[in-house]
Structure 1
Amino acid sequence: MPDKIFREILDRLPEGVSVIDRDMRIVWVNKTLREKGFDIEGCKGRRCHVVYKRNEKVCENCPAVRVFETGKQVRVLEKGADGRDYEVTAIPIKAKGAKVVKGAKGAKDGSVDRVIEIVREAETDLVSKADEIADQKCYSFIEDAEDIIFMIGADHKILSLNRRAAGMFGKKSRTAIIGRTVYDLFPKKIAESYAGEIDRVFETGESLLEESKSVFGKEQRLLRTSLNPVRDLSGKVTAVMGISRDITERSRIAKKLKQSYELLNNITDPASDAVFSKDNKRRYTFVNKAFEDMVGVKSARIIGKRPEKVFPPEIAREVRKADDDCFSGKTHDRIYKLNLNGKERYLHNVQNPIYGPEREINGVAGVVRDVTEEKRSEEVLKQSEERFRNIIEHISELYYIHDTKHRLTYVSPQSKKILGYSPEEMKIKWTELVTDNPMNRKGLKQTEKAIKTGRKQDNYTLELRRKDGRTIIVEVDESPIKDEKGKVIGITGALRDITERKKAEEALKKEKEWSERILDSAPSMMIGLGENSEILLFNKAAEMITGYKAKEVMGKSWIELFIPKKQRKEMHGVWDKVVKGKLELHHYENPVITKKGEEKLIYWSNTFLSQNSKFRMIFSIGQDVTEKRKAAEALKKNEEKFRLLFERMTQGIVYQDKDGRITSANPAAERVLGLTLSQMQGRTSVDPEWKAIHEDGSDYPGKDHPSMVALRTGRKVQDKLMGVFNPKINDHVWIKINAIPQFRKGEKKPCGVFATFEDITEQKNAEQKLRESEEKFRQLSESSPIGIYYADAKGEVLYTNPRWQKITGLTLKESLGSGWADAIHPEDRKRVKSIWRNCISNGVEGETTFRFLSSKGRTIWVNTTAVPVKDERGNIIAFVGTNQDITEQRNAEQELKESEERYRTIFNSANDVIILIDRKGFITDVNKKFFEYSGMSEKRVIGKHLKELKSLIPKRSLPVLIKNFMKRIAGADVHAYEVELYGKNRKISTFEVNAVPIRSEGKITGDLAVLRDITERKEKEEELRQAYKDLKKVDQLKSDILRDTTHELKTPISKIKMMADIAEEAIGQVKERDIKTDSLKKAKDNLKKISSNSSSFLKLISNIVNLSKVQNLENIKKEDVRLKPMVERLIKEYSSYTSEKVSLKSAVSEKCRFRANPELINLLIRNLLENAVKFTKKGRISIGCSSSKSHIVLRIKDTGPGISKKNISEIFQPFTQGDRSTQGLGIGLATCRRIAELHDGSIDVESSPGKGSEFKVRLPKR
């Protein structure tokens, strides 16, 4: 049954229209047939030949029957029951969702659901003309078609073919093909197949549709061919028309798509996680085997379905929420507790949006993991945890629990004490704790074995790294955790720190090794002698001193082997007394004979070892004192040398006895102090004649003199500064004194003291000058814009200027000494101190960058320098340095670094190929996508010229790339263009190239090219173009039918109106008195009505044609439009039609000018004005216009009845009216909206019932 709108149109047609079902029964007739007596109720269900009173024989060639058979429109001439000629047009109505079935014959596959049959009385000239027009259109359609179209006779000869078909055979002239048989054009096997199918169409009169391979020249192509019978008016098949479509490329793409899905299945099917994807309508497009197993449904019942068709409502609701997150651009990550297939499961769902090339969301991809076992493990562990938590958290060991995948689920608080990590940190960072110590592998394997076998393994040790970086050794005791079924669900373990124990064990081991080595490494002889003086122990030193190896002497008699012959007898007697305990010889000297016969003097220290008061061994340590004795002789000789040195030293030396009296002094002391030895002898340090002073000029009391302090305390006194009066120069000299107390053996009180001193008067004078210089330096530094500090030779800071203090946030007091180091950022402190120590130790300059951390938590980056200050002798006396605040510079550098990292991340994560080229054409950088596409290595690309990339750039593409590159380098604009590139395995893809020049300081230094793979897009565009062509053909066919129909309707209606007007005019000439009958008056009134209704009908047809025209328009020709004269002409025209109660006025000024199509704008205003005139019975209609820089707004306002809110949203739809009480189809406003859209404008209305309406049309000026 036609829909409501279509039924209204059919009801207005003058032709008879009926709808026939597959059983050839009438299901609906239009108003024309009903007015002729064909009652719809009486027609329903009856056979059409009965209704139309046709002969049954005629029904054999009935057009409706042929449409059901062929699926194509049929038009025939036939005699009616009244003897008149009727033109019958049968139009197929396709069944909803009907598809072409491979091998189907005609339309008997059920693709045609019903037939519309239009019957009208034939007009011979009209039919001929229509046939002629149809032939012309058909020829044009066939000739320009992308499909191969040909006509074949019963003898298998080609009768005709289109340009596309001739091109496939490689023939420029069709005369070379027409008249030849299929056997002449195709290989024998293919020709026989074609001939058989053509014969079947001739025999059955039914269409055939099949796919087959054909050979054109040397190329094999895959074609989808439809063979259709061509009938004459009698219905006889006279020829076969073939339409073939080349689907070779589509088949190849389909095959590749299938391979891609197979590859995806091969990748994801072994996975234990469920993988899926959906399109933008939330329909499943892919699921793997794990997904099927999880939901218990095969993929065939899932693909193409929305979640609510696959899952129960409660699950589908959660899935819908997850999809909502993704389609709003978010990642969805959540664990659900669901009842799936009658089982309670925990599912972890992670899904993300799939983005298209324009960042539009095209679908969703996700992974679902069954974490039920993990959750159950957590529950079992939680019960166990509650039971033992109090115990575990109060013992020294660290207890932990992890699942079978080594994910920690519990860690006791002892982790903080043992490893420095909190329990929560341990769960995240535990993998960072295990060092690469080889012993760790063995221990971890034991854990795996416990999980696999379910049996407890032996304890093992691990080396772990604490949070502070220290490594510790721990002992691990682990046991498997099992569920009720005995399945291992995790591991519980205790970890104890055995680092100290290990260290102790290691120490014991080392101590043993050392005790074994002591004998060998000791410089003294170590021997052990038994009861009969047999040698039991003989170390390396003994070997070196005696010349014997241990193996040569072990077990032999010491006395017989090493004691000189003349002393052996005496030595035997002594040895006997020693063994019996009658004599103790702890220390003694005796000579020993070496292997070479040399005699060496050995000093022995003996230890007697016994057990249960019984002699075991004498352990003796012997020192070779041969050289020592020789040295003692030499000592006497050297004393004279030392005396000479004492007298010639440049450093003053004074010796004082225990009472502090000077007894001796060297010449240097006499020179420095300005006194002779005789003048000094007997004087003490407390003598006021020394006139000793401190640095500040105050007296230096005698009791505090270094010599007196050393005598009093018994300790050294070093580096004391003192000013002493020199009578020779009559001035003080400055000396630096060291006092060393001297002791006699066994006495604790000093017996005297040596005082050494050096004259530093010149140094003090230099220091004074330095202090004066420092004052100048201080004044300069106070006003310096950079931080300045001053430190002594030991590195102790003595001064910082105000700028230094402001930069660091420290006060002067806080910065002095080593206090400044406390403000260094903890991460930099160790490094900075190391550099500072290096400067001090080696006297070198230093420079570094580090951070200060102020008391307010602010971080300040500084660049620091340190320069040593040297005296005239080159000795370092101080360091001076600067601190410069470079925080802003560092922040800028950090931002630049982050920017570069972001650029590199974007550069390498881009889905397009990106290439950087210098101005000479050499490649400087490419992104990750380049390597993925080309399969080339970095070595083969970076530094290469474009011309060298022959494995990437085909010959036909290289000139295009080079030409456009040179243009951009020259500064010319180059729009996006397309090139072909080789990929992996020499596969060619099409790329769109967008490139921009790279500039530095205004000069072009290179080129950045972005290449987007548009191969798939090109294929899709080609498909869209073909589909668009097909749609255009269908749309054109609709327009042709509409145009022909309206033309055929206009002709008789125009004639009717004309005849009615003539008749009315003729009656009007009859004088009133001559009109004698009411019938004549009634005839005159009826003629007026006929004329009026004819005009309305003609206007309706015109409106339909106008709507059809504007709907088919895509591009319009624009010119300058002056709105004022156009509106004034229309107002003048419509003023004659309006009631005297309605005023029609224009307020359009000359300023309302714009570019548009004047015919369409005229039609738009006419339709709106006509609409206002139709509905406004009294009041006013006004037309106004306002203008802005870019747009004009046209307003047409009336005081009509207005439009309800309900109808406002529908009035711009075709065949919709705001008021059903008025005539018309509701086409005018739909036409207006389409005209506004063609001008990139808009139309809307403001209205309310009883208050009139105002239509606003907004159009661009250009």
Structure 2
Amino acid sequence: MLFQEDSSSSHSLEDLSREDLIQEVLHLKQALALAKERTELILQATNDAVYEWDLLSGYLSWNEGFLHLIGCEQQAIEHTIHFWSAHLHPQDYERVQESLQALFQQGGTQWVEQYRFRRKDGSYAYVLERGYIVYAAQNKPVRMIGTLQDVSKQKESELAREELSNEYAFLLDEIPSLVFSTQPDGHADFVNKQWLQYTGSAMKQIVGDGWTKAIHPLDRELTLQTWYTSVQQGINYQIQHRLLRHDGVYRWFQVDAVPYKDKHGTIIKWFGTCTDIEEVRQAKTETEDQLNYFYSLLMAIPSPIAIVRGPEHIVEFFNPHLEKLLGNILQVGVPLANCLEGLPAGYFFEMIQQVYQTGETRAIIEMPIQLTGRQGPPDAYHNLLFQAIRNKTGGRNGVLIFGHDVSEQVNARKKIEESRSRIRSILEGIPAMAWTTDVQGNTTYYNSHWYSYCGIPVGEKVNTYELIHPEDRPAVYSSWQEAQRSQSIWQAQYRLQREDGTYRWHLGRTVPVFDSEGNLLEWFGVGTDIEEQKQTQKMLENTLAELHEKNFELDQFVYKTSHDLRAPLTTILGLVTIIRGEAEESTKMQYVDLIEGRVQKLDTFIKSMLDYSRNTRTPVRSASIHFPALMEECLQELASLKHFDRLQIATQITGENINSDPFRLKIIFSNLISNAIKYQDFAKPDSYLHIHITLSPGQAEIVFTDNGVGIEQAYQDRIFSMFFRATDQSEGSGLGLYIVKQAVTVLQGSITLESKINKGTSFSIHLPNKAAG
């Protein structure tokens, strides 16, 4: 308690004299000062950050603990809510603000939040804030008092535990067994990846009691009864039952689970595994069926069989096949150990003893059999099954030994392994990448050339799919899946990443290998580098495309040339005929003017063709360009054009000269100025062409801007095409802008167009500064 009631002040103030009242006031001031001092001492003594927020004025005060928390001095602190807000982590800001607003709107009195708060050094501390709201009349909040506790270490521990949990889940997913865990009450909360893949289920379908759906209906009741007994009693759980596979097939599993307890002995988790025992169960079932139903036919069964009885394993029965295999060493009524004396049969005899003692069925897979007195490799291989024989009361009184000759399979497998070894030796020697996969398509071998190409240590596991170019992966995956489904040859072209990170084109080809009965054994694959072929193919395709374009242009050129050459000549011939029959001299001169116009048009067309030919065939020759002289030469040649004098041409040049091809620059200037002359807007009182030339050390920027008739938007994408004319009224040959575009391209530059009908046209050209030569 910070304050204690003083019994001396319990009487009424009305009973006090003035002097006593003054003393009482002084006493109360001292008590308040003492209480304040105690409060400040407590705030200074605590490690937590304590604050008081005046909700009416917005003033926010802190204790020393807050200064230690953020590593600031008192003078660096702003006593406003904005200072607190500015130090919130950006990812926590919105959540914390919404939570605080909700508290005020709901009229709450207590607020608890965890968030990150920025220290002076820029790092963030995890803090746990507990705040309490003080309300005045009419439930109006007036003050908030609270603490900020640094919980960074606890949070770091929590994150570390979460990371450890993730690592634990990863390890469980990689275990090649079905693994599960449950809560103390037995409800499943986790199964590993192997479980999900086997059942074809999702995790949300398994949690709780969902795992029971995979149990065979005939096994479900006993399984659940045994499981709940283990959970209730806290004892190990063990049972065998059938589980449904994703393809609808049930297989037998051995299930084992153990409880995990804390230091107080309380179960906090159950962990279990499911082991596939389908093959063992099948073998056991087959053996039991033969013992129960076909004992009378044992002598006819084409497999070695023997029965021994009692703890001394007295030979009771053996069939002719076993006698033929071992020779005359077995004798009925004689302990088996005596019959096998002198033979290396220790493991064989130990197996019989274990089966007799435990009653569990055992098997020896591919046991080598060698006849007495023989040296060298085994004569045969057998799978031997050892089954306990029980009496009517269930007691064990003997062991059944059943053998199955697997010599052919073992020898065939060895031949396959030898063949595979030879093939791999061959694959190591070929100058290409080679690999093998199992039936499911999982890679089992890469040759050294593959590892060398990819820059991966020999033997290191790698996902080949990740080395294929991302754009090629879908097609490769789809075709490989189809080849696996149809068990046919797979072939695909794809880009494969090299050691240096670059991609090169490869032709991959994988061939399925079958046994004599048509069963798929494995796949053999070879990858051949076809990067050069791909590049050559691409060059051929580009060449063919260029040839196609050139042929098209040539056809157009021949057609248009013959047409545009004949048309003026035909007109001239017609005018000459008319002149011969005309008597008036003045009329003859009019016809002569027309002939002159046709001749000029024909001359312009021939000049365009010459420019086209020279631009195509003449090599680029670079020299210093003096643009005023170039302009003067172009204008002199164009001065004879109709309406030349009407166009006002202004040129502005900034910068020093550049190096380029004078011939092609003259082609560009002549054609663009000619266009501006031909396509003036005669509805306007003045026509102009402004030429701005900006020269820099690296390039030249040339802009031709006129106020002519403009070009419709629909034609602007085609304006640089050969022989293109926007209308039948166009006076040009259709070659001018095409030649300009070709000349700019030869100079490794660029040209762009902006135009509006009745407004004018602007051509922008960028040309690089070429070295003189």
TM-score range, shorter chain: 0.3 to 0.5
TM-score normalised by length of structure 2: 0.33
TM-score normalised by length of structure 1: 0.22
Pair member with larger Rg: 1
